[in-house]
Structure 1
Amino acid sequence: MKKLFAVLGDPIGHSMSPVMHNDLFSFYNIDAHYLPFHVKPDNLGHAVRGLKAIGAGGFNVTIPHKSAIIPFLDQVDELALQIGAVNTVVNVDGKFVGYNTDGLGFLKGLTDIGLHISESRVLIIGAGGAARAIYFAIAKNLPKAVDLTNRTVEKAANLIKDCPFPVSSKAISLTEAAEKIGEYDLIIQTTMSGMSPNLNEQPLSLENLHGQALVCDIIYNPLETKFLQEAKQKDAKIQNGIEMFVYQGALAFEKWTGIFPDVKRMRENVLQQLGGTSNVNR
């Protein structure tokens, strides 16, 4: 009997996780299937209980359920609790255990670039759920500094206060961030600015960017946002959201099956779905 895996979200039709994970189950000869479920917030608890009742092997959680899912789980990993969000759930002997692979997935995505977090000065743009996961994962590795900028500076400051790791951080305005952006080795854009269909938006100017920096945008539709295009014009290295998406999925797959999958295969599969060929400018 096939083991069921799933992703819960609202909306969910855009998710590429089913294509990615079903290909992996087939590739590794695992008798399992991965389905998308459109779950409204009011029905989240019912959905979790239903998945447990039928013995689902695990599931992913996407917007807007990553924080709301926590009370419905039997156990939550310490890092996920600190972040306050879960994106991966594993059935462990009948108990649903929650993890967050988003921040770790982002860090894994930097391995292809050869960037060493501990030697870097980092700027994170945004202070939402994705920024929180990435910030905590980076802070745990103790970079030289990791600053946060956001339209509401107070929200960035509160995120810094919540961080459990002893890292040097400041909350700065978008204007200040644009002025001093040349001081950073790694710039990470975590907002929805520039996501399709708002292709002409970008969170701040990169006029003062230097060509040695790595500029990341967690958006992957389009493959190159206006933000990344401007960074490339400044001769900076760029990375879009494909790497984070693929690696967070790989870490989830590993938790479900014990197999760390072929990331190159996953990347090519996702790029094929998006109609693209490359996501990194070295």
Structure 2
Amino acid sequence: MKKLGLIGFPLGHSFSKKYYLEKFQKENIQHIDYDLYPIERISDFPSIFTNKDFYGVNVTIPYKIEVMDYLNELSDEAKAIQAVNCIRIMHSAEGTPYLKGYNTDAYGFEESLKPLLEVHDKKALVLGNGGAAKAVIYVLDKLGIQHTLVSRTKQTDNFTYDEINASILAEYSVIINCSPVGTFPNIAESPALPYEHITAKHLFYDLIYNPEETTFLKKGKEKGARIKNGYEMLLLQAEKNWEIWNS
């Protein structure tokens, strides 16, 4: 039986496993399994990909960067972003594995964002500077949308949350939450922004999908902003993974 799976640590509830197993059942896809592989050290990864039955894995926290040391090749977007969430595993006739890394988060984000954009959406604030922000920034560059990071500590060319004011929010109409603030179970939390200055011209995009409507999105919605959570992004990247693994 062919094998697919997700590596990371720790691994609790997995969107990916549920999604693919339901897909296999609905589409009558047989002789393929998808499972979770929590590995405490990235050095344990070879024990998975040297198995000839494996032909693809997803990668989640904390290994999206570290896993690149084990890859033979990176796709263009993975090379630019310097983070990988999808790996295609090919085996030679002799059984030697060849691994190519992709970043399908970028594809999912781009395709879910584009229909929401309006003519005035020229600048974006990216909340958080972790790994998720890398794919977002790659897409914003690709779409020609200027962007500035917002984080708790001051660094070169970024804003701190304390610096965000009415004039900045009037200039930046797109606000993307790449931080974990507001994730279940801490659903009452939201990024520290002056929401009183949000208008109907703003677009709030939250990479979080649990809860479906975060406090961040609710506060934007109350001011008339367009809102979007990260669920469609997940669906799109999942289908892109499947396309890559079976191309």
In the alignment, is the contact (CA less than 8 A) between 1:126 and 1:148 conserved in 2? yes
SS in 2 for 1:69: helix
How far off is 1:246 after superposition? 1.5
Of the candidates 37, 45, 51, which is equivalent to residue 53 of structure 1? 51
Of the candidates 190, 210, 231, which is equivalent to residue 202 of structure 1? 190
Tell me the TM-score normalised to structure 1 length: 0.78
SS in 2 for 1:228: helix
Aligned to 1:185: 173
Aligned to 1:37: 37
Identity of aligned pairs, percent?
Answer: 32
How far off is 1:92 after superposition? 3.4
In the alignment, is the contact (CA less than 8 A) between 2:108 and 2:237 conserved in 1? yes
Once structures 1 and 2 are overlaid, which stretch shifts more, 170-179 or 230-239? Answer: 170-179
Aligned-partner residue type, residue 170 of structure 2 = G
In the alignment, is the contact (CA less than 8 A) between 1:124 and 1:131 conserved in 2? yes
Flag structure 2 segments of 5+ consecutive residues without an equivalent. Answer: 92-96
How far off is 1:55 after superposition? 3.2
Once structures 1 and 2 are overlaid, which stretch shifts more, 192-201 or 226-235? Answer: 192-201
Aligned to 2:103: 100
Aligned-partner residue type, residue 164 of structure 2 = A
Q: Deviations over 1:92-149 (max 9, x none)?
A: 35411101111221111124x4426995321111111001111012212222x21211
Question: How many corresponding residue pairs?
Answer: 239
1 CA distance for matches of 2:117 and 2:239?
20
2:8 equivalent to 1:9: yes
In the alignment, is the contact (CA less than 8 A) between 1:151 and 1:174 conserved in 2? yes
SS in 2 for 1:57: strand
Aligned to 1:212: 201
How far off is 1:50 after superposition? 2.8
Aligned-partner residue type, residue 127 of structure 2 = I
Runs of 4+ in structure 1 off by over 6 angstroms are none
Aligned-partner residue type, residue 22 of structure 1 = L
Tell me the TM-score normalised to structure 2 length: 0.89
Aligned to 2:17: 18
* Root-mean-square deviation over aligned CA pairs: 2.0
SS in 2 for 1:230: helix
Distance 1:98 1:147, change over 3 A: same
Aligned-partner residue type, residue 140 of structure 2 = I
Of the candidates 225, 240, 245, which is equivalent to residue 251 of structure 1? 240
1 CA distance for matches of 2:39 and 2:133?
24
Aligned to 1:173: 160
Aligned to 1:261: none
